[in-house]
Amino acid sequence: MKPALTFLLIFCSFFAYSQSVLPTYESGKVAFIEVVKTDSLGKELLYENAGKWLQANNFQIQVSAEDSIAGKWVARQSFPVYARGYVSKKIHGKINYTLTVAVKENRYKYEFSNFTFDYYKENRNYEMVPTGKHKALEETKASGWQSLWEQHQKTTQRTVNTMIGSLKTAMIDIPKPKTETVLSKKSASQDW
């Protein structure tokens, strides 16, 4: 009984990592969406924190004047995904996505969406360069490279979850009030 249970545990540990589950929205597209409540944080502070975080994380900000008035940031970014190479990894492609952060009084909503995989290929200098070809991340099939495709989906899930954690931390940051330093002409030995 115990050996059978042991074997089952080992089997499950592999099986758990062979399935990729990316969250999808109503349209069937991959999206990570959440409304986060933040007590006592105003719209302006949330908007400013979101902007600072986007810039610090090298997002390409695409906000329009209307978005700004509405308290919304729209930005794009990409991250590489790798194929296993011998000794070191080789870029297989890049995952592009859009991040929208909309703020209101005491709450904000983030939306990671429009995920696409950009195909890369090797050029004559053995550099990996984009081909201009794309694949939507919600596609489940990748004939001929299924395991690699599932690995990229898992990488996307991990990467976005990390970004979400970082964003949430940054959004609740309250700037510390500035303290004035008063220079005294009295001697150092005087009781302050």
Partner 1 sequence: MRKIFYLLLLCVIITSQVFAQDSTATADKSTFSISGYIDSYYFTNFNRPASRDNMGQSGVGRGFDRRVDQFSLGMVQTLFKYTNRKSEMVADLAFGPNAQYGNYGNVPVLSPAYGYAVGNDNFSGVIIKQAYFKYNATDKLSFTAGQFGTHIGYELIDAPLNYHYSINHTFNSGIPFYHTGLKGSYAFSDKVGLMLGVANGFDYIFDNNRAKAIIGQLFVSPAEGFNVYFNYMRSNEANADSLGKTPDGNFSVYDINGTYQLTDKFMMAFWVMLGSQKGQVGAPGTFTPADGDTDETKTWGGANIYGVYSFSDLFSLGFRGELFDNTSGARGLRNVDSFGNAHGTSVTTYTLTGTFTLADGHLLLKPELRFDNFKKLEGDSEIASQQFMDSDGNFTKNSQTTFGVAAIYKF
17 binds partner 1 (CB under 8 A): yes
CA distances from 56 to 22, 52, 135, 150, 167 (A): 26, 6, 28, 30, 11
Q: Read off φ and ψ for residue 28, nearest 5 degrees.
A: 90, 0
For partner 1, the binding residues in 105-144 under the rule CB under 8 A are 122-124, 126, 130-135, 141-144
5 binds partner 1 (CB under 8 A): no
Q: Which residue, 34 or 122, is less far from partner 1 as judged by CB?
A: 122
SS3 of 118, please?
A: strand
Report the alpha-carbon angle 40-23-168, nearest 5.
Answer: 25
> Is 151 near partner 1 (CB under 8 A)?
yes
**Angle (deg, nearest 10), helices 43-56 and 146-171:** 130
Q: Minimum Å distance from CB 137 to partner 1?
A: 14
Nearer to partner 1, 70 or 145 (CB): 145
**Interface residues for partner 1 in 43-102 (CB under 8 A)?**
79-83, 85-90, 92
- CA–CA distance, 86 with 61 (Å, rounded to integer): 37
Per DSSP, what are the bridge partners of residue 80? 94
Q: Should residue 147 be labelled a site residue for partner 1 when binding is judged by CB under 8 A?
A: yes
Binding site for partner 1 (CB under 8 A): 6, 9-10, 13-14, 17, 79-83, 85-90, 92, 122-124, 126, 130-135, 141-145, 147-148, 151, 154-155, 158
